[in-house]
Amino acid sequence: MRKTISFLTLLLMMAWLTGCCLAHDWKEANCEEPKTCKICGETEGEALGHVWLDATCNLAKTCEVCGKTEGDPLGHDWREATCQKLKTCAVCGATEGDYADHVWIAASCLRPKHCEICGVTEGTTLNHTWVAASYDSSRYCSVCGVVQGDELTPAFEKRNYEFTLQKGTSWEYSTIANADDKAVSATATITDYRKYKSDSAHAALDGYEWREVTVEFKSATGIKVMFGYTDTYAGLEEYPYSNYITYSNGTKLGVLADEEFRYEWQDDETCISYGNLAVRVPEDYEDLVFYVCSADYANTQRIDPNIKFMEMK
């Protein structure tokens, strides 16, 4: 019996001396350590390794088993606040601060003052900035371009004048001299009158035509001449220096026109002056009148009793 006990004691001493356990007391493996005997430190297998969770805005990279961390949190990816949304992280949805102010767009004739972000409005629309209708354009707003109504149509009102403009028509004409404004007489003659759609100097417009007259003045000196077109003259009480035609709504509006005046000496005693007027009007316009008057009367706004009116048919 004593031999048996001694033998067992010997075995235990040998195990202790050699580092071997008769029975291991194991500690289970974890993320960083393998399965390990608590008594002798013997290991078995390998460490399990960390189970990492990716870093977030608020947390560093973290092992979901042991809680160990690596690195730093990512930080928020902020989207700035608007009038509809708070400052918000695009990753986690966290918010911060207050709503921003509206981003206002000023009122126009189409929309009241409004926020370009959320569309909320304040006040009312502005008035349109109208450009009056003309013979080739409807009434329209110069800001937004909205169109209203139709282009103007001439008001046809047949009047009876003493003369119809014809090539070769001649009459005696009184005005003032170009050099010293003294009274001077001249012989005026219509040397050309024509109607056409367009030429190199005058652009065409659908439904319209050009009416062009050339007048020659013969006098002893250079003279001053006033001429133009009208449709309102009914007598001497209506001074005709207007250069417009009347439309169906009562609007009086100038049409496209150009004029030229020049003079040259034929000889030492005769100066020839030339006047030319071209006017673009509707093809069937019946009330266009060409007039010639003294520059003296035109400049002083007095009525020229010798004013000459000729229908431009």
pLDDT value of residue 298: 58
Q: Rounded distance, CA 285 to CA 229, Å? A: 13
213 Cβ neighbours under 8 A, 6+ residues apart: 165, 190, 192, 193, 276, 277, 290, 312
Helix, strand, or coil (residue 276): strand
Of 9-13, 69-73, 78-82, 265-269, minimum mean pLDDT range: 9-13
- DSSP codes of every residue in 162-193: SEE--TT-EEEEEEEETTT--EEEEEEEEEEE
Instruction: Give the mean pLDDT of 163-186.
Output: 84
Q: Which residue from 110, 99, 135 is spatially nearest to 251, judged by alpha carbons?
A: 135
Residue 54 CB neighbour total at 10 angstroms = 9
Instruction: Give the mean pLDDT of 215-220.
Output: 92
Q: Rounded distance, CA 295 to CA 278, Å? A: 20
Instruction: Show me where the domains of the chain are located.
Output: 163-311
- Please state whether beta strands 139-141 and 87-89 pair in parallel, antiparallel, or not at all (unpaired): unpaired
257 Cβ neighbours under 8 A, 6+ residues apart: 229, 243, 277, 278, 279, 280
Which residue in this structure is represented by tokens 């502005």? 126
The mean pLDDT value of the chain amounts to 81
Q: Is residue 192 scored above 60 in pLDDT? A: yes
Q: Using CA atoms in the order 10, 14, 15, 16, what is the torsion angle rounded to 10 degrees?
A: 100
- DSSP codes of every residue in 10-49: HHHHHHHHHT--SS--EE---SSS-EEETTT--EES----
Q: Is residue 238 scored above 60 in pLDDT? A: no
Here the tokens at position 173 are 């004409």
Quick one: residue 116, left, alpha or beta (phi over 0 = left, psi -120 to 50 = alpha)? alpha
Q: Is residue 291 scored above 90 in pLDDT? A: no
Q: Which residue from 157, 150, 156, 148 is spatially nearest to 136, judged by alpha carbons?
A: 150
Here the tokens at position 111 are 């929309």
Q: Between residues 313 and 73, which one has the greater pLDDT? A: 73
Per-residue pLDDT reduced to its tens digit, 127-156: 999 988 876 678 899 888 888 888 776 654
Here the tokens at position 278 are 């071209």
Residue 135 CB neighbour total at 10 angstroms = 22
Amino acid at 43: T
pLDDT value of residue 110: 85
Predicted TM-score (pTM) of this structure: 0.51
Residue 228 CB neighbour total at 10 angstroms = 20
Q: Is residue 266 scored above 70 in pLDDT? A: yes
Q: Is residue 204 scored above 90 in pLDDT? A: yes
Q: Rounded distance, CA 210 to CA 199, Å? A: 9
